[in-house]
Each structure stands twice: as structure tokens, then as C-alpha cells.
Amino acid sequence: MVGPHHIDMVGQTRLIVVAKRRWPMAKKVMGQLKLQVPAGQANPSPPVGPALGQRGINIMEFCKGFNAKTQEMEQGAPCPTIITYYQDKSFSMEIKTPPASYYLKKAAKLKSGAKTPSREIVGSVTTKQLREIAEAKMVDLNANDIDAAMKIILGSARSMGIEVKG
């Protein structure tokens, strides 16, 4: 047998035999959608509903699945989510950890970063807090160890006008 189809000659009739696939065919990806949704608070109202609806994704199924996956996280923390949707209207979602800026603002007890980050310092965090943030973000960062992750978070802190003490 050479490939999935082969032809057997039985008398004068041609018989096409199709070999069974050993694994299911992959779903055809139609596209990806990136949303930032508050943990445990996905609902069909804008901006989530329209973004999913125009792509034919089941909005309630997404909301229930997202809220179930993020119930252990801090409620209201913004979660970057990548939704891959397929031709058969199904989807898969990858939920990432909240942005470093969210953790830094929370640690420094700020509402927003500095307007001019290089000249203005709006708050400060300790190296212990920086390490905790780096450990929380480690899975999503492109770093080999905790020290490299801390440097990435330190850069985010500097660009927000937050100084690191200790």
C-alpha cells in the first residue's frame, strides 16, 4: 500500500480502498484574537461580546470557561488571553499572567505610572517585592533564571517612574 488510497482490481471492477487514519485530522485555524479580560469577570458585554461574536465564537462558552480557569487568580486582575478559533467554530484559549505594570502599580500602591518616567519618580518598590513579581511572571517571561526575570521587571519599573530600593 502506497499512501492512503490504493486500487485493487477485483475482476473487471475497480475498488478503491481508503486506509483508516491513525490520528484525527488537525482542525483548520481561522485566526487568533488577543483580549485583555479581568480575571473572573468575563461577560458578554463589550468589549468581549462583540469581539467574539463577529468571529462566530460562542460567547457564553468562552465566558464560562474563562471565569472557571481564572477563579483562583485575584479577581479583576487584567489577564492577557490569546484565543485561537477554528473553522468548526470551536476555540482554545491561552491565559497569561497579568502584566508586570499591574503588579508594579499594586506593589507601589499607585493608580498610574509617571507622565515623564526619566525625570519623575512616582513611587518605589523593594527588591523583595521585585523578586515576588518576577517569580509570579516567570512562566510568561523570556528569562532563564530568576535574576534575569528581575532585570526585565526592573526595566518595566524604570519605564513607569518607579524606583527600586534595597
Name the residue range of residue 70's domain.
29-95
pLDDT for 33-46, tens place per residue?
898 988 888 888 88
Nearest 10 degrees: CA dihedral of 44, 48, 53, 54? Answer: 150
Answer whether residue 15 is part of any domain.
no
Final residue before a domain boundary, out of 73, 95, 117: 95
**What sign results for the dihedral spanned by CA atoms 93, 34, 107, 139?**
positive
Which pTM does this prediction carry? 0.71
CB atoms within 10 A of CB 63: 19
Residues 61 and 105 in one domain: no
Q: Pick from 127, 77, 135, 65: which is nearest to 101 by CA?
A: 77
pLDDT for 61-113, tens place per residue?
888 888 888 888 888 888 898 988 888 888 888 988 888 888 888 888 888 77
